[in-house]
Amino acid sequence: NAGVMQNPRHLVRRRGQEARLRCSPMKGHSHVYWYRQLPEEGLKFMVYLQKENIIDESGMPKERFSAEFPKEGPSILRIQQVVRGDSAAYFCASSRQGVDAGELFFGEGSRLTVL
């Protein structure tokens, strides 16, 4: 049973370009969370999605960031017009029933570098 798969693992973008990060949850998991980790810092919650629904996007910047989890296919975190401050590791986590029912399984992250 494959774990949470994230791609790309590393992404380099120039300022103003778009970054798309993909996350395939573990088989049977319908809850997806995105977290951002800045160097030497903890993980900051961004967004919580279930299939075709955004449940909580309170940690998402209001502009340039969007996320989706379609009925078919991976969850996508999209960052438009990237700036240097967007450079970070972005982690996706999935669970079968949400946090209250057990652990979150994390992917290995996508490391975005903005030049």
Partner 1 sequence: QQQVKQSPQSLIVQKGGISIINCAYENTAFDYFPWYQQFPGKGPALLIAIRPDVSEKKEGRFTISFNKSAKQFSLHIMDSQPGDSATYFCAASRTAGTASKLTFGTGTRLQVTL
The region of 14-22, 61-69, 70-78, 103-111 touching partner 1 under the rule CB under 8 A is 103-111
Nearer to partner 1, 49 or 114 (CB): 49
Q: What is the identity of the amino acid at 37?
A: Q
As measured in angstroms, the least distance from the Cβ of 4 to partner 1 is 7
Nearer to partner 1, 42 or 85 (CB): 42
Nearer to partner 1, 38 or 83 (CB): 38
As measured in angstroms, the least distance from the Cβ of 101 to partner 1 is 8
Would you state the structure tokens that stand for residue 63, as one six-digit string? 């502009």
Using alpha carbons, list the distances in angstroms from residue 100 to 12, 48, 95.
36, 14, 10
- Of residues 1-60, which lie at the interface with partner 1 (CB under 8 A)? 4, 33, 35, 41-45, 48, 55-56
Long-range residue pairs from 84-87, CB within 8 A, at least 24 positions apart, any chain? 84/15, 84/114, 84/115, 85/114, 86/19, 86/112, 86/114, 87/112, 87/113, 87/114
